[in-house]
Chain A
Amino acid sequence: MKFKIFAEFCNRIEATTKRLEMIDLIVDLFKVTPVNEIKWLVNLLQGKLHPDYVGLEIGIADKLALRGIERATGISLKKLSSWFVETGDLGLTCEKALRIKTQSSLLSFLGKEEDLELKEVYNGLDKIARASGKKSQDIKLDILAGLLMKASPLEGKYILRIVTGRLRLGVADATILEALALHFLGSRDQRIVLERAYNISSDLGLVAETVASKGLDGLKEFRVHPGIPLRPMLAQRLASPEEILEKMGGKCAVEYKYDGERMQIHKVGDNVSIFSRRLENITFHYPDVVKLTKLHVKADTAIFEAECVAVEPETGELRPFQELMHRRRKYGIQEALREYPVSLMVFECLFVDGEDLTNRSYLERREVLGKVLSEGERTKIVESEIVSSPEEMENFFLRAIEDGCEGLIAKDISEKSIYRAGKREFLWIKLKRSYMSKMIEPVDLVIVGAYYGKGKRKGIYGALLLASYNSEEDVFETVCKCGTGFTDEDLSNLPKILNPFKMESRHARVRAELDADVWFVPSKVIEVIGDEITLSPVHTCAKNSVREDAGLAIRFPRFTGRYRDDKSAEQATTTKEIIEMYNKQLKKIEEK
């Protein structure tokens, strides 16, 4: 197939504003595409070469692309750059340059010059994507220039948009699926079969090739395959436990919803692959998760899903999601691994030793998960329980938040609760923290208790129990546990500083529902900053003031390094001030 046909259709698709017209155009394009080329065509229509999970991007930066145009056309970089600034579009820059090019191709002196083939462009781009090593830039440049040498201005425009990741025809997966259904299966309704194949293979090109070559029967042969990610099942959202229970038929399972990175982990023998929610292969960034998988998954072949969360190495406390993003770096993986260790909170099991579990019910999958996964310090099955009243769900919700989660996921437990890959339906419903208050200033809190450390912090205090001062009742109310922000020196000095205030049991003026390993007379004040103030079922600060049975807690508290020896315990931040801070900055977070 000539690439110019593809380019011409791209031009027409780009010009249309109507979705149905777009589908018709894609159907027309399918009509002129040979079966063995449809896979490339479908990928190129989406501006890619392979499904996302392959993790191979073309990756040509603007500067290199401009040099490619320069090499192919002989037009100076300076001129090309000015055109690029004018149009803001490398495709148009290339189109213009090819219209007035001065550099000729040797091929034009070798007899008849041939048109670019779709296959030729696809293979060229694939070579660009695969080029590595110290000469890779030159290789990319030469291949791009080689394609542009043969390209017409219109073809050049689309080649440039594809290599720079800016094709943006707006052709969504669903649009292609619909066009495939219409052309190869004769009706839009047949989309469901195509969708299923796509949801478990995550490869639109393969689905297109299969339906084109083998029809409906070929699609029915699609199976879950370890090593190839499924499109993840997603959750609907509702605002209250009441609504959720009504939707779920009065009873459902609830699970902690961690604020981490969702991972789909595939184990095939000793081979472990990790895919992100968007199905990118992120195995490279998480060698520790690979290790945990090998250690805790007792099956030879398995697919499961987990939330990966950053944890404080010494205390095991959760760290904010943003810290996890340090793990997505290209270099210094080992350093990142030490600085930002993670835990796996496993919540799904989709495949075990040859058996596809996606058609089994939630409770059955959970049971298999319990058998296949041996829990450890860094690998746990997510906290869950079955609830049948809004109160039970509310309590679970508060506990989840107190434990550092962002909310809960309610899951259908009926027979129909299969794993619906790629679907967002009411089999899963999320309830997220609806109240959050961003903390923008530090607070001075009183040390009322402490917890012994583990690991490196063994023998010293690993975390402190901190309280605000309730001046109306003259009591100290706990507001957080803080184990972050302390230097090694701080940690070794803490016993010396605090032991003079040590007590046998909780001080009478300390109001606490948590147990500490050691209690202190409320005396020492330290400065702490947190990420936000949230509702809490266990902290006593402002208990019942904002909501019945709930207090306030500081989320992700960190010691700023300032000992407020200038302040007495009664001069610490008051509970009233915490309530004010909470109310003042309270805002409904936009649901993700």
Chain B
Amino acid sequence: MFSFMIEDIGLFKGILESIEAVVEEVSLKVNQEGISTRAVDLAKVALVDLMLPRDFFAKFECEKEYLVTVDLNELRTRLKRTSSSDTVTLRYNTELSMVEVIIQGVSERIFRFRPLEEEFYFEKIPTAPYEAKAKILSKVFLNTILDAEIVSSEIIFTLKDNTVIAKGASESGEVITKIDSEQGGLLDIDVQNEASSKYKLDKLKDIAAKTSKISDTVDMYLGNNVPLKLDFTIPGGGKLTYYLAPFIG
């Protein structure tokens, strides 16, 4: 059996939604260290990697390692039934082989549901030579993507001269966004060599929109024609990372 009490239910729901930008079902690995999951979308373009240490939770109990697969939408619909004053505990009942959502407020409610049979914990993470990294405000990152989407379905990120440049272009025109430290959108940048890569916007938009609600900043790692790596630090501890495959040629 494992169980963990969720401190900030709004934040927890936001994390689940952010994972859902890539996959709908995940296998949660729960052990002494905390909870983690790593999954690749069906089209094999995006990977999501989450780590929530045990300290992220108000209470955390786990006697051995478990891998429990859940449908995120199914879990969220139960969590939607909570209010901010409730105490919410997630438990895996080994006797019943059921996931339990225990909501304690003016009454105690227990939702039980069966986990999915299939297990998919992706062991590997992409390795790529990253030439540059930048820390940007999440809201600025999201707006950059929304701007690009107006003219294109793709975006080219370039990191050079202490500036993040994003370009969306199509036959109908183009949009160029420059983020540097002077306007305040860029918090930090480290460019070893100039780096530039192109990505599809659909998944990226979903990722940026969902993560902007849970994390104020994003660390962006860029190379030439390599996967885009996005790191989001979660308040209260924990990290959410995405990898997105590039367009080549």
A residues in contact (CB < 8 Å) with B: 71-72, 74, 76, 100-111, 135, 139, 141-143, 145-146, 149-150
Contacts and interface: CB of A to CB of B under 8 A. Distances in A.
Instruction: Return the 6 tightest CB-CB contacts between A and B, nearest first.
Output: A142-B42, A109-B126, A145-B43, A142-B43, A102-B247, A106-B245
A111 B60 CA distance: 36
Contacts of B128: 109
Interface of B: 24, 40-47, 124-128, 153-154, 198, 200, 225-227, 243-249
Contacts of B47: 106
Name the prevailing secondary structure of the A interface residues.
Answer: helix
Nearest to A72: B43
A139 B110 CA distance: 31
25 contacts: A71-B43, A72-B43, A101-B249, A102-B249, A103-B245, A104-B246, A105-B245, A106-B40, A106-B46, A106-B47, A106-B126, A106-B245, A107-B44, A108-B245, A110-B125, A110-B127, A139-B24, A139-B42, A142-B41, A143-B42, A143-B43, A146-B41, A146-B42, A146-B43, A149-B45
Nearest to B170: A76
Nearest to A110: B124
Contacts of A145: 42-45
A318 to B, nearest CB: 50
Contact of A109 (B42, B153, B245): B245
Given A72-B43, A142-B43, A110 B245 contact: no
A109 B43 contact: no
A247 to B, nearest CB: 58
B24 A149 contact: no
A101 B128 CA distance: 20
Contacts of A150: 44
B175 to A, nearest CB: 18
Given A74-B200, A74-B247, A111-B124, A106 B45 contact: yes
Contacts of A102: 198, 247-249
A306 B43 CA distance: 46
A146 B44 contact: yes
Contact of B45 (A100, A103, A139): A103
B247 A105 contact: no
Nearest to B45: A106
Nearest to B122: A110
A141 B42 CA distance: 9
A554 to B, nearest CB: 59
B200 A149 contact: no
A528 B225 CA distance: 75
Nearest to A71: B43
Contact of B226 (A109, A110, A135, A139): A109
Contacts of B43: 71-72, 141-143, 145-146, 149
A108 B226 CA distance: 10
A578 to B, nearest CB: 65
Given A71-B45, A106-B244, 11 more contacts: A74-B247, A101-B249, A103-B200, A103-B245, A103-B247, A104-B245, A105-B45, A106-B126, A106-B245, A110-B127, A143-B43
A103 B198 CA distance: 9
B24 A135 contact: yes
B211 to A, nearest CB: 18
B202 to A, nearest CB: 8
Contact of B44 (A74, A111, A149): A149
A150 B245 CA distance: 13
Contacts of A110: 124-127
A203 to B, nearest CB: 26
Contacts of B41: 142, 146
B125 to A, nearest CB: 8
A577 B247 CA distance: 76
Contacts of B226: 109
Nearest to A68: B43
Contacts of B45: 71, 103, 105-106, 145, 149
Contacts of A105: 44-45, 245
Nearest to B43: A145
A585 B200 CA distance: 63
A101 B249 CA distance: 8
Nearest to B23: A142
